[in-house]
Amino acid sequence: MSPLITPESLAELGDVTILDVRWRLAGPPGVESYREGHIPGAVFCDLDTDLAAPPGPAGRHPLPSPESFQEAMRRLGVSGSRPVVVYDDADSTAAARAWWTLRYFGHPGVRVLDGGLRAWLRAGLPVSEETEAVPPGDFTAEPGGMPVLDADQAAELAVSGVLLDARAAERYRGETEPVDPVAGHIPGAVSAPTGQNVEPGGRFHRGEFLRERFNTLGVVEGVPVGAYCGSGVTAAHEVLALAVAGFPAALYVGSWSNWVADPARPVATG
Protein backbone atom coordinates (compact mmCIF):
# COMPACT_ATOMS: atom_id res chain seq x y z
CA MET A 1 0.00 0.00 0.00
CA SER A 2 1.30 3.43 -0.89
CA PRO A 3 2.03 5.69 2.09
CA LEU A 4 0.16 8.43 0.20
CA ILE A 5 -3.57 8.91 -0.37
CA THR A 6 -5.43 11.27 -2.71
CA PRO A 7 -8.19 13.65 -1.54
CA GLU A 8 -10.76 11.71 -3.55
CA SER A 9 -9.78 8.42 -1.93
CA LEU A 10 -9.82 9.95 1.55
CA ALA A 11 -13.30 11.36 0.94
CA GLU A 12 -14.53 7.82 0.24
CA LEU A 13 -13.08 6.26 3.40
CA GLY A 14 -15.48 5.41 6.18
CA ASP A 15 -13.99 4.56 9.56
CA VAL A 16 -10.76 6.59 9.62
CA THR A 17 -8.93 8.88 12.05
CA ILE A 18 -7.78 12.13 10.44
CA LEU A 19 -5.06 14.23 12.06
CA ASP A 20 -4.47 17.86 11.08
CA VAL A 21 -0.73 18.42 11.63
CA ARG A 22 -0.33 21.94 10.28
CA TRP A 23 2.81 23.53 11.75
CA ARG A 24 5.27 26.28 10.91
CA LEU A 25 8.68 26.69 12.47
CA ALA A 26 8.22 30.44 12.91
CA GLY A 27 4.46 30.28 13.66
CA PRO A 28 1.67 31.12 13.92
CA PRO A 29 0.48 28.01 15.79
CA GLY A 30 -1.13 25.48 13.51
CA VAL A 31 -4.21 25.22 15.73
CA GLU A 32 -5.21 28.69 14.54
CA SER A 33 -5.34 27.44 10.96
CA TYR A 34 -7.27 24.38 12.14
CA ARG A 35 -9.95 26.57 13.72
CA GLU A 36 -10.30 28.57 10.50
CA GLY A 37 -11.14 25.44 8.54
CA HIS A 38 -10.16 21.77 8.40
CA ILE A 39 -11.20 18.49 6.83
CA PRO A 40 -14.48 17.39 8.44
CA GLY A 41 -13.80 14.96 11.26
CA ALA A 42 -10.13 15.89 11.61
CA VAL A 43 -8.61 16.62 15.02
CA PHE A 44 -5.60 18.86 15.55
CA CYS A 45 -2.27 17.19 16.35
CA ASP A 46 0.41 19.48 17.76
CA LEU A 47 3.82 18.60 16.31
CA ASP A 48 5.74 20.27 19.14
CA THR A 49 3.91 18.56 22.01
CA ASP A 50 2.21 15.45 20.58
CA LEU A 51 4.96 14.26 18.22
CA ALA A 52 8.08 15.30 20.15
CA ALA A 53 9.55 15.54 23.62
CA PRO A 54 10.68 18.93 24.97
CA PRO A 55 13.81 20.32 23.26
CA GLY A 56 17.21 19.77 24.83
CA PRO A 57 20.59 18.15 24.10
CA ALA A 58 18.78 15.34 22.25
CA GLY A 59 17.56 17.92 19.71
CA ARG A 60 14.79 20.42 19.09
CA HIS A 61 12.24 17.68 18.35
CA PRO A 62 13.43 14.51 20.09
CA LEU A 63 11.30 11.39 20.18
CA PRO A 64 8.50 11.44 22.76
CA SER A 65 8.43 8.63 25.28
CA PRO A 66 6.15 5.71 24.41
CA GLU A 67 3.94 6.63 27.36
CA SER A 68 3.46 10.28 26.38
CA PHE A 69 2.97 9.46 22.70
CA GLN A 70 0.42 6.78 23.52
CA GLU A 71 -1.51 9.18 25.75
CA ALA A 72 -1.50 11.87 23.06
CA MET A 73 -2.68 9.53 20.32
CA ARG A 74 -5.44 8.03 22.46
CA ARG A 75 -6.61 11.56 23.29
CA LEU A 76 -6.78 12.27 19.54
CA GLY A 77 -8.86 9.16 18.94
CA VAL A 78 -6.17 6.96 17.41
CA SER A 79 -6.72 3.22 17.61
CA GLY A 80 -4.45 0.50 16.31
CA SER A 81 -7.21 -1.17 14.32
CA ARG A 82 -8.41 2.00 12.56
CA PRO A 83 -6.50 3.56 9.64
CA VAL A 84 -5.03 7.03 10.15
CA VAL A 85 -4.61 9.78 7.56
CA VAL A 86 -2.42 12.79 8.39
CA TYR A 87 -2.18 16.08 6.52
CA ASP A 88 -0.76 19.60 6.67
CA ASP A 89 -1.10 22.65 4.43
CA ALA A 90 0.40 21.26 1.22
CA ASP A 91 3.89 19.76 1.04
CA SER A 92 3.54 17.11 3.80
CA THR A 93 6.59 18.24 5.79
CA ALA A 94 4.79 18.25 9.14
CA ALA A 95 2.45 15.41 8.16
CA ALA A 96 5.46 13.23 7.38
CA ARG A 97 6.66 13.58 10.97
CA ALA A 98 3.26 12.31 12.16
CA TRP A 99 3.37 9.46 9.62
CA TRP A 100 6.89 8.47 10.70
CA THR A 101 6.24 8.72 14.45
CA LEU A 102 3.06 6.65 14.26
CA ARG A 103 4.87 4.05 12.18
CA TYR A 104 7.83 4.06 14.57
CA PHE A 105 5.51 3.37 17.49
CA GLY A 106 3.84 0.51 15.69
CA HIS A 107 0.71 1.77 13.94
CA PRO A 108 0.21 -0.45 10.87
CA GLY A 109 -2.03 1.77 8.75
CA VAL A 110 -0.90 5.38 8.36
CA ARG A 111 -1.08 7.40 5.15
CA VAL A 112 -0.31 11.00 4.20
CA LEU A 113 -2.79 13.14 2.26
CA ASP A 114 -0.78 13.96 -0.84
CA GLY A 115 -0.88 17.72 -1.36
CA GLY A 116 -2.46 18.38 2.03
CA LEU A 117 -5.41 20.65 2.64
CA ARG A 118 -4.58 22.62 -0.49
CA ALA A 119 -5.17 19.56 -2.66
CA TRP A 120 -8.37 18.78 -0.72
CA LEU A 121 -9.70 22.27 -1.49
CA ARG A 122 -8.65 22.08 -5.14
CA ALA A 123 -10.72 18.90 -5.40
CA GLY A 124 -13.77 20.88 -4.31
CA LEU A 125 -14.20 19.00 -1.05
CA PRO A 126 -15.75 20.59 2.06
CA VAL A 127 -14.12 22.00 5.19
CA SER A 128 -15.42 22.48 8.70
CA GLU A 129 -14.84 25.10 11.38
CA GLU A 130 -16.21 22.90 14.16
CA THR A 131 -13.80 21.69 16.83
CA GLU A 132 -14.15 17.94 16.60
CA ALA A 133 -14.88 15.87 19.71
CA VAL A 134 -13.71 12.28 19.27
CA PRO A 135 -13.93 9.30 21.61
CA PRO A 136 -10.60 8.19 23.08
CA GLY A 137 -8.64 5.66 21.08
CA ASP A 138 -6.93 2.51 22.24
CA PHE A 139 -3.58 2.82 20.45
CA THR A 140 -0.68 1.05 22.16
CA ALA A 141 2.75 2.54 21.47
CA GLU A 142 5.42 -0.07 20.81
CA PRO A 143 8.70 1.54 19.65
CA GLY A 144 10.91 0.09 16.94
CA GLY A 145 8.65 0.06 13.91
CA MET A 146 11.00 2.28 11.88
CA PRO A 147 14.83 2.33 11.85
CA VAL A 148 16.58 5.15 13.68
CA LEU A 149 20.12 6.52 13.95
CA ASP A 150 21.98 8.14 16.79
CA ALA A 151 24.89 10.54 16.21
CA ASP A 152 27.56 7.84 16.04
CA GLN A 153 25.50 5.72 13.67
CA ALA A 154 24.82 8.74 11.45
CA ALA A 155 28.55 9.48 11.26
CA GLU A 156 29.27 5.86 10.33
CA LEU A 157 26.52 5.77 7.72
CA ALA A 158 27.95 8.86 6.04
CA VAL A 159 31.05 6.75 5.37
CA SER A 160 29.64 3.26 4.81
CA GLY A 161 26.35 4.13 3.09
CA VAL A 162 24.41 7.25 2.13
CA LEU A 163 23.41 9.91 4.66
CA LEU A 164 21.08 12.50 3.13
CA ASP A 165 20.89 16.05 4.47
CA ALA A 166 17.29 17.17 3.93
CA ARG A 167 17.83 20.88 4.67
CA ALA A 168 18.12 23.66 2.13
CA ALA A 169 21.40 23.58 0.21
CA GLU A 170 22.70 26.84 1.71
CA ARG A 171 22.33 25.42 5.21
CA TYR A 172 24.13 22.24 4.16
CA ARG A 173 27.00 24.34 2.75
CA GLY A 174 27.19 26.36 5.97
CA GLU A 175 26.43 29.67 4.29
CA THR A 176 23.57 30.38 6.69
CA GLU A 177 22.03 28.81 9.78
CA PRO A 178 18.80 30.50 10.90
CA VAL A 179 17.99 28.14 13.79
CA ASP A 180 20.92 26.19 15.22
CA PRO A 181 24.12 27.67 16.74
CA VAL A 182 26.56 26.12 14.26
CA ALA A 183 26.39 26.09 10.44
CA GLY A 184 27.50 23.24 8.20
CA HIS A 185 26.80 19.54 7.79
CA ILE A 186 27.84 16.11 9.01
CA PRO A 187 31.06 15.13 7.19
CA GLY A 188 30.30 12.80 4.30
CA ALA A 189 26.59 13.64 4.13
CA VAL A 190 24.97 14.33 0.76
CA SER A 191 22.79 17.39 0.16
CA ALA A 192 19.21 16.37 -0.73
CA PRO A 193 16.76 19.23 -0.04
CA THR A 194 13.22 18.01 0.56
CA GLY A 195 11.81 20.73 -1.66
CA GLN A 196 12.91 18.63 -4.63
CA ASN A 197 10.66 15.76 -3.52
CA VAL A 198 7.47 17.58 -4.40
CA GLU A 199 5.87 19.29 -7.39
CA PRO A 200 5.12 23.05 -7.30
CA GLY A 201 1.62 22.42 -5.95
CA GLY A 202 2.93 20.37 -3.03
CA ARG A 203 2.19 16.85 -4.22
CA PHE A 204 4.98 14.29 -4.26
CA HIS A 205 6.68 13.50 -7.52
CA ARG A 206 5.86 10.10 -8.93
CA GLY A 207 7.77 7.14 -7.54
CA GLU A 208 9.80 6.68 -10.72
CA PHE A 209 10.94 10.32 -10.63
CA LEU A 210 11.93 10.05 -6.98
CA ARG A 211 13.72 6.77 -7.54
CA GLU A 212 15.83 8.35 -10.28
CA ARG A 213 16.49 11.39 -8.10
CA PHE A 214 17.77 9.28 -5.23
CA ASN A 215 19.78 7.07 -7.58
CA THR A 216 21.75 10.16 -8.65
CA LEU A 217 22.53 10.81 -4.97
CA GLY A 218 23.97 7.33 -4.50
CA VAL A 219 20.88 5.57 -3.16
CA VAL A 220 20.69 2.14 -4.78
CA GLU A 221 19.49 -1.30 -3.75
CA GLY A 222 21.64 -2.88 -1.07
CA VAL A 223 23.23 0.36 0.17
CA PRO A 224 22.05 1.50 3.62
CA VAL A 225 20.54 4.99 3.64
CA GLY A 226 19.53 7.46 6.30
CA ALA A 227 18.38 11.06 6.54
CA TYR A 228 18.72 14.02 8.87
CA CYS A 229 17.73 17.69 8.88
CA GLY A 230 17.66 20.40 11.53
CA SER A 231 15.50 18.64 14.11
CA GLY A 232 14.06 15.47 12.59
CA VAL A 233 11.01 16.98 10.88
CA THR A 234 11.95 17.54 7.24
CA ALA A 235 14.13 14.42 7.40
CA ALA A 236 10.94 12.43 8.05
CA HIS A 237 9.69 13.91 4.76
CA GLU A 238 12.87 12.57 3.12
CA VAL A 239 12.20 9.11 4.59
CA LEU A 240 8.64 9.29 3.26
CA ALA A 241 9.85 10.27 -0.22
CA LEU A 242 12.34 7.41 -0.11
CA ALA A 243 9.49 5.05 0.82
CA VAL A 244 7.48 6.30 -2.18
CA ALA A 245 10.55 5.54 -4.30
CA GLY A 246 10.84 2.06 -2.81
CA PHE A 247 13.85 2.59 -0.52
CA PRO A 248 13.74 1.91 3.23
CA ALA A 249 15.67 4.50 5.22
CA ALA A 250 16.63 5.30 8.80
CA LEU A 251 15.95 8.63 10.50
CA TYR A 252 18.46 10.49 12.66
CA VAL A 253 15.79 11.94 14.92
CA GLY A 254 18.07 14.32 16.80
CA SER A 255 19.53 15.56 13.50
CA TRP A 256 21.71 18.67 13.29
CA SER A 257 20.35 20.18 16.53
CA ASN A 258 21.61 17.10 18.39
CA TRP A 259 24.85 16.83 16.39
CA VAL A 260 26.03 20.35 17.27
CA ALA A 261 25.07 19.94 20.94
CA ASP A 262 28.43 18.20 21.33
CA PRO A 263 31.26 20.59 20.33
CA ALA A 264 33.59 17.63 19.83
CA ARG A 265 31.67 16.42 16.78
CA PRO A 266 33.18 17.50 13.45
CA VAL A 267 31.45 19.95 11.14
CA ALA A 268 31.94 20.22 7.38
CA THR A 269 31.13 23.18 5.13
CA GLY A 270 31.05 23.84 1.43
Query: Using CA atoms, how far apart are residues 210 and 165, in angstroms rounded to an integer?
Result: 16
- Judged by phi (left if over 0) then psi (alpha if -120 to 50, else beta), residue 40 lies in beta
Q: Residue 127 has what DSSP assignment?
A: -
The alpha carbon of residue 53 and the mean position of all alpha carbons in its chain are separated, in whole angstroms, by 15
Answer yes or no: 229 catalytic.
yes
Task: Give, in degrees to the nearest 5, the angle at Cα 227 between 224 and 232.
Answer: 145
Of the listed 219, 229, 249, 260, which one is catalytic? 229
- Residue 173 burial (10 A CB sphere; 0-12, 13-18, 19+): middle
The alpha carbon of residue 154 and the mean position of all alpha carbons in its chain are separated, in whole angstroms, by 18
Query: Using CA atoms, how far apart are residues 43 and 45, in angstroms rounded to an integer?
Result: 6
The alpha carbon of residue 231 and the mean position of all alpha carbons in its chain are separated, in whole angstroms, by 10
Indicate which residues carry an active-site annotation: 229
